[in-house]
Amino acid sequence: MHLHHNSKRIAQWLLSITVVMLLTACGFHLRGAADLPFKTIYLGFSPNSTVGVELRRNIRASGGEVVDKADQAEAVLKVLADTRDKQVLTLNTNGRVREYALFQRFTFSVADPKGVVLIPPTAIVLRRVITYDENQELAKQAEEVLLYRDMQSDLVQQILRRLAASKTALATENVDPEP
C-alpha cells in the first residue's frame, strides 16, 4: 500500500513537471504592460466614463502619462462613438425571450497634436450572449452588469493593443528611404 502511494505521488510530480515544461516550450507567458509608442496621451472621454477611467489606469500602469490638455500630449485619443445595445436572439415556444445578445460598439481615432492621424477611425465591436429566465430577473440583471463590465475590460485591452501596435506603424513611417 505504501509503495503504491509513493508511485502515485511520483507520477503526479512528473505530470506537474511535464505540464510546466510544455507551457514554457509553447511560448506561453502572462500579458505584461503595453509598450506604448508615446510618453503622454490625452484621452477624449467624458469625466464620468468608466472605460476612460480603466484605460487611464492601464496606461499609467504601462508607464505612460495621461495629460489633461490635448496640446500637452504626444497623442490624442478621440472617442467617435461608444454605445451599448441589447438584442433578442431567441424566443421560447410561448414567444418569451430566451436569449439576448449584448453589444458594445466603440470607435476611436488617435492623432498627434498637429492633427496627423496615427490611428485612423477604428471600430471595436464586442458581443456576449446571455440566457434569460423571467423567474430569475434579479440574477439575470446582475449577470448582464457583469458581462458589460467584462466587455469593458476586454475593450480597454483591445485599445491598448492597438495603441501599442501603432508603434510599429510609426517606426516604419519615420524611416527615411535611401536615395
pLDDT of res. 14? 75
pLDDT of res. 90? 92
pLDDT of res. 175? 44
Structural domains of the chain ordered from first start? 32-174 (3.30.160.150)
Angle at 167 between CA 162 and CA 169, to 5 degrees: 90
Residues 10-48 pLDDT 10s: 878 777 777 776 666 655 444 555 568 889 999 989 888
Coil, helix or strand at residue 111 = strand
Per the model's pLDDT, the better-predicted residue between 169 and 139 turns out to be 139
Q: How many beta carbons lie within 10 A of that of residue 96, not counting itself? A: 10
Written as one string, the DSSP assignment of 35-87 is --S-SEEEEE--TT-HHHHHHHHHHHHTT-EEESSGGG-SEEEEEEEEEEEEE
**Is residue 171 predicted with pLDDT exceeding 70?**
no
Q: What does residue 130 show for φ and ψ, rounded to 5 degrees?
A: -130, 130
pLDDT of res. 177? 46
* Residue 68 CB partners (closer than 8 Å, separation 6+): 42
pLDDT of res. 76? 94
Closest CA to 45 of 62, 35, 57: 57
pTM of this structure: 0.72
In Å, how far are 62, 98, 166 from 85, measured between CA atoms?
31, 17, 29
Residues 86-130 pLDDT 10s: 999 999 988 889 999 999 999 999 998 888 999 999 999 999 999
Residues 149-161 pLDDT 10s: 999 999 999 999 9
